[in-house]
Structure 1
Amino acid sequence: MKQLFLQINPEDNLLVALTDLKKGQEINFKGDTIILQDDITAKHKFTTTHLEKGEEAIMYGVLVGKAQSDIPKGGLIHTFNLKHASDTFKGKLKDYTWTAPDVSKWKDRTFNGYYRADGQVGTQNYWLVIPLVFCENRNINILKDAFLKELGYAQPEVYRDQVSTLLELYQKGAGIDALKSFQFQQQKSDYKQQRVFKNIDGIKFLIHESGCGENREDSENLVKLLAGYCVNPNVAGVTVLSLGCQHSQVDLFRKAISEKDADFQKPLYVFEQQQDTGSGESAMLSEAIRQTFLGLIDIDKNERKPAPLSKLRVGVKCGGSDGFSGISANPAIGHTADLIVALGGTVMIAEFPELCGVEQELQNRSVTAEVADKFGYLMTEYARRAEAVGAGFDMNPSPGNIKDGLITDAIKSAGAAKKAGTSPVEDTLGYGQYATHKGLNLVCTPGNDVLATTGMAGSGATIQLFTTGLGTPTGNPVSPMVKLSTNTKLAEKLPEIIDIDCGGIISGEKTVEQMGEEVLEYIIGLASGEYQTKAMLLGQDDFMFWRRGVSL
């Protein structure tokens, strides 16, 4: 018989519906009978006991909200009767002992990666082209169009071809009815096309809206983030365009790189429009093209070589979350994270607003009081800044989250934190700070999908695992994004964006541990260049910088 509901933690007074349940239906729970007082849609929650106004709702074993009115036993919890609430945190209060999972069957496994001079190993071999200020975005796009089309990295022009086809039919006299009924042929893209450089996985171009006209803190944080992208082992060489007069100066950028890697040895070509001599913009772009092309010849000499799994640097993120996120895909990649840590690798978890309510657990898991205190400080400062502009962590759940069962930020956060697995917290990082410690790292980012994934790539993630219950097409320019669905219905509905279906956990066909191991195997193949993720095939290269201050 299919399981109807789930209690995640023995202390919970909320149960999760695994399928649609009807008002009046009797639920047998630990020898007690619960008569449902409302229709309960799959992914939503109902109470095991009567909750009076002000009483605490517990899920994942932590406080996730307080009743705003009396909620009957077997009653649906929703935004009209439950308000966000979370426990306070007080720093590291006790020691933490971790029992690592058995990783003996992966002990001698390797992936085929790209070795860098600093000892890091990339899963991709990219050339990166970046602007230090938004004024250079147009020039970046000029270079992008030229390089990608000529060197075989451009996306197939499927939709342009469709417009061309309709135009041709129209010019030949086809009527409205004929145009309405015309069926396009589905074309499959060949991501490798006719590439000139066989050992270069891509040329990546960033654009952003920062670098000047904002407070100096944001401009300095931008260059730190961009420096992290340069140091990321998936990047083999860099071309930089600068205007010259902006806050994000070239010397600040070079300093940020040296702080992350004092012996930075990758090709780095910087072009400054206002300072470079010559015949203006066209001469600068021509020289940028020449030097970048020569750099591509150089990094094409790199070849994949076997590397231990301890060289993996994996970020974990969720977006478009639903009521199944915290019980299927998130715990699954949490187990993957534990396996990677046990193998000596590096794991990063971002989105601090979605760690609200589990701070004490993460502080207790921190290896030192200093790591715990830094996490506490960053959480408190983030919340303070949010409140200063009339916002708060309680506003985090989106309409889509709420519709699919994530009623409060604490419910969403408790499930989101499952991505971090159970290993000790080795370090806490600010936005743009590079991960230098093996094991689990907390990276301060917003919950916003692109801001968070941008931040983890800047901290050195070479692969990112992204769980979604509703469907999110996010990708990253330098850090391949693996999309995992929390439910099979989503995987079937949006196959063009989902790489791995974790719905078998909900149906009972797979355990969290089995799914986590499958994800690790997928990572090994991806890191070796055996295939690309759906986001990579779509050319989904999202980059967005987290601006925290006012524009001036």
Structure 2
Amino acid sequence: MTPQPVIRLHPDDNVVIARVPLLPGAVLGDNVTAAQRIPAGHKAAVRAIAEHEPVRRYGQIIGFASAAITPGQHVHVHNCEMGDFAKDYAYGADARPTDYVDDPATFQGIRRPDGKVATRNYIGILTSVNCSAHVAGVVADMFRRNPFTGDDPLADYPNVDGVVALTHKTGCGMTQDEPLRLLRRTLAGYARHPNFSHVIVLGLGCEVNQIGGLMEEQRLAGRLKAMDIQTVGGSRKTVAAGVEFVKGILAESNRVTRETVPVSELKVALQCGGSDGYSGVSANPALGAASDLVVRHGGTVILSETPETYGAEHLLTRRAVSRDVGEKLVDLMRWWEEYTVREKAEMNANPSPGNKAGGLTTILEKSLGAMAKAGSTNLVDVVRYAEEVKARGFVFMDTPGYDPVAATGQVAGGANLVCFTTGRGSVFGCKPAPSIKLATNSAMYRHIEDDMDINCGTILDGEETVQQAGQRIFEHILSVASGERTKSEQFDFGAAEFAPWVLGATM
């Protein structure tokens, strides 16, 4: 059966979404036809909307009419804008006991000596400061596989997924309170990550972020090999020492075997980037269905990007297991409101030009679609950026909306796999965690298939339901967690995307 040309998400909605480009006269429903051309993924009014009246999608407010809108008109940035409205947080009103499965699924993971489970087996090189970034990169490059020629310095170590340098642009010239603590918390999360068998941290020697201070504050003594360029005797000697260390531990790193472990050992980071008008219709709800399965099987999913939850937080507080958990989320929203005012910005600045070209009009609309990734289970905890995620179930982590920064925080918090939805075609990796890319529409999937793992456009095409797509995603999560390489891994993405959140003044 040919799908209808428009998508109606809720009976209370006064707009529909164009499944395909619509020409004037196209049937929209409610005895309304398109009054003008409506691009695919964009909205059209099916009711008269008076000036200042709410525009509704998902049965929720996504903005307010900045001018009177007649049925059949295109609804977008030219006639829809942000506005304040009262939210009922109703803490815990929709929290329900989780329907756990009787026979949880398993995957083939790597059990570390401390009991944590890895989905990959990397050797990591971290840097305390930007000044040691080049040296770290040179060390890692000595062991890098060439995706074009096939040359592989690690051919004799098939169980080692790679040697990766994760560098950043800070570590010095920074204030020594929360910005430094946040950086150290992020680095420590990576140093402890189960997807690393061994970790080196390289410094220059005179930076604010002293390696000794990092190790003492984060209790990392004995967990990593530390060296700084000034003490070792310069860049060349440090590279030689780093290479020698890696060569010395390759055999040990290679001595791992995968074993059957329960899904309760999975921590899945939920991300979206390059979103479009279909994100909240296909890929995000499908990932939400998969998230529910992960939780029902005993695992953990981590939603983040606080500015991209703004305006939809009242739907998450209703799912909070306690008022305290719900209030943590609301407090984050207040912080972000104050932060944007202080920085002379606004929350609605978040939808990017690509988001808007794809049909998203306001941050409210984007947030309502983004939160669908977290499914429907209870919100069990809210944590700070890069803080270790200890609770099992659906957890929210405070991060910016910028994808690399958000995912870096989630992986630092312990995520051992990333699921990333995109409508415009974002390319992304997140070493040491594998990143699964989910396309919202079939046209984009076919156009850049080398970067996309799963096509959720099948939902729009009428080929499967959201729940069926969610089951397919869940099964793929288990395969990737067991060692199947993702498209981004095949092209060696994941090192450049390491991006700790930078706070405070650069001094």
Fold match (TM-score > 0.5): yes
Cα 1:132–1:55 shift into 2, 3 Å = same
Cα 1:25–1:526 shift into 2, 3 Å = closer
Cα 1:17–1:536 shift into 2, 3 Å = same
Q: Deviations over 1:320-350 (max 9, x none)?
A: 1111110100000101100001111010011
Distance 1:193 1:511 in 2: 45
Alignment-derived partner of residue 10 in structure 1: 11
Distance 1:78 1:238 in 2: 49
Deviation at 1:319, TM superposition (A): 0.6
1:198 aligned partner, one-letter code: P
Alignment-derived partner of residue 500 in structure 2: 545
For the pair 1:136 / 2:132, whether they are aligned, the reply is yes
Cα 1:101–1:333 shift into 2, 3 Å = farther
Alignment-derived partner of residue 148 in structure 2: 156
For the pair 1:239 / 2:194, whether they are aligned, the reply is no
TM-score (ref. length: structure 1): 0.87
Q: Which shifted more, 484-493 or 89-98? A: 89-98
SS at match of 2:252: helix
Work out whether residues 15 and 46 of structure 1, in 8 Å CA contact, stay in contact via their aligned partners in 2. Answer: yes
Cα 1:285–1:26 shift into 2, 3 Å = closer
Alignment-derived partner of residue 27 in structure 1: 28
Alignment-derived partner of residue 66 in structure 1: 64
Deviation at 1:383, TM superposition (A): 2.2
Instruction: Find the partner of 1:212 among 150, 172, 178.
Output: 172
Instruction: Find the partner of 1:526 among 480, 485, 492.
Output: 480
For the pair 1:497 / 2:451, whether they are aligned, the reply is yes
SS at match of 1:365: coil
Alignment-derived partner of residue 97 in structure 1: 95
Deviation at 1:63, TM superposition (A): 1.1
Cα 1:206–1:329 shift into 2, 3 Å = same
Work out whether residues 91 and 369 of structure 1, in 8 Å CA contact, stay in contact via their aligned partners in 2. Answer: no
Deviation at 1:257, TM superposition (A): 3.6
For the pair 1:535 / 2:495, whether they are aligned, the reply is no
Instruction: Find the partner of 1:459 among 406, 413, 416.
Output: 413
Alignment-derived partner of residue 118 in structure 1: 114
Work out whether residues 20 and 41 of structure 1, in 8 Å CA contact, stay in contact via their aligned partners in 2. Answer: yes
Deviation at 1:87, TM superposition (A): 4.1
Distance 1:19 1:282 in 2: 58
User: What 5-or-longer segments of structure 1 have no aligned partner?
Assistant: 158-188
2:501 aligned partner, one-letter code: W
Work out whether residues 92 and 321 of structure 2, in 8 Å CA contact, stay in contact via their aligned partners in 1. Answer: no
Alignment-derived partner of residue 429 in structure 1: 383
SS at match of 1:147: coil
Aligned-pair identity (%):
32
2:180 aligned partner, one-letter code: S
For the pair 1:416 / 2:370, whether they are aligned, the reply is yes
Work out whether residues 220 and 252 of structure 1, in 8 Å CA contact, stay in contact via their aligned partners in 2. Answer: no
SS at match of 1:515: helix
Deviation at 1:48, TM superposition (A): 2.2
Q: Which shifted more, 415-424 or 212-221? A: 212-221
Distance 1:99 1:17 in 2: 37
Cα 1:252–1:436 shift into 2, 3 Å = farther
Distance 2:252 2:469 in 1: 40
For the pair 1:273 / 2:229, whether they are aligned, the reply is yes
Alignment-derived partner of residue 166 in structure 1: none
Work out whether residues 17 and 42 of structure 1, in 8 Å CA contact, stay in contact via their aligned partners in 2. Answer: yes
Deviation at 1:102, TM superposition (A): 7.2
1:155 aligned partner, one-letter code: P
Cα 1:279–1:234 shift into 2, 3 Å = closer
2:410 aligned partner, one-letter code: M
TM-score (ref. length: structure 2): 0.95
2:168 aligned partner, one-letter code: H
Correspondence list, 1:252-291, <5 A: 252-258=213-219, 266=223, 268-274=224-230, 276=231, 279-291=233-245
Cα 1:94–1:207 shift into 2, 3 Å = closer
Work out whether residues 289 and 466 of structure 2, in 8 Å CA contact, stay in contact via their aligned partners in 1. Answer: yes
Work out whether residues 269 and 301 of structure 2, in 8 Å CA contact, stay in contact via their aligned partners in 1. Answer: yes
Distance 1:357 1:520 in 2: 28
Distance 1:547 1:280 in 2: 28
Deviation at 1:98, TM superposition (A): 3.1
SS at match of 2:168: coil
Distance 1:46 1:339 in 2: 34
Deviation at 1:142, TM superposition (A): 1.6
Deviation at 1:118, TM superposition (A): 2.8
1:408 aligned partner, one-letter code: T
Deviation at 1:193, TM superposition (A): 7.9
Instruction: Find the partner of 1:45 among 43, 65, 68.
Output: 43
1:40 aligned partner, one-letter code: I
1:7 aligned partner, one-letter code: R
Deviation at 1:84, TM superposition (A): 2.1
Larger Rg computed on CA atoms: 1
Distance 1:356 1:108 in 2: 34
Q: Deviations over 1:254-295 (max 9, x none)?
A: 24543xxx8x874x1000233x3x544433333332223222
Work out whether residues 92 and 322 of structure 2, in 8 Å CA contact, stay in contact via their aligned partners in 1. Answer: no
Instruction: Find the partner of 1:399 among 353, 365, 371.
Output: 353
Alignment-derived partner of residue 165 in structure 1: none
User: What 5-or-longer segments of structure 2 have no aligned partner?
Assistant: none
Q: Deviations over 1:498-521 (max 9, x none)?
A: 111111100111000111111111
Alignment-derived partner of residue 342 in structure 1: 296
Superposition RMSD in Å:
2.0
Q: Deviations over 1:451-478 (max 9, x none)?
A: 1111111111111110111101111121
SS at match of 1:428: strand
Correspondence list, 1:294-373, <5 A: 294-373=248-327
Deviation at 1:302, TM superposition (A): 1.7
How many pairs were matched up? 503
SS at match of 2:202: strand
Q: Deviations over 1:145-164 (max 9, x none)?
A: 2232xxxx34335xxxxxxx
SS at match of 2:25: coil
Alignment-derived partner of residue 145 in structure 1: 141
Cα 1:102–1:308 shift into 2, 3 Å = closer
Distance 2:25 2:239 in 1: 71
Cα 1:253–1:396 shift into 2, 3 Å = same
SS at match of 1:317: strand
Correspondence list, 1:385-396, <5 A: 385-396=339-350
Distance 1:347 1:265 in 2: 30
Work out whether residues 271 and 419 of structure 2, in 8 Å CA contact, stay in contact via their aligned partners in 1. Answer: yes
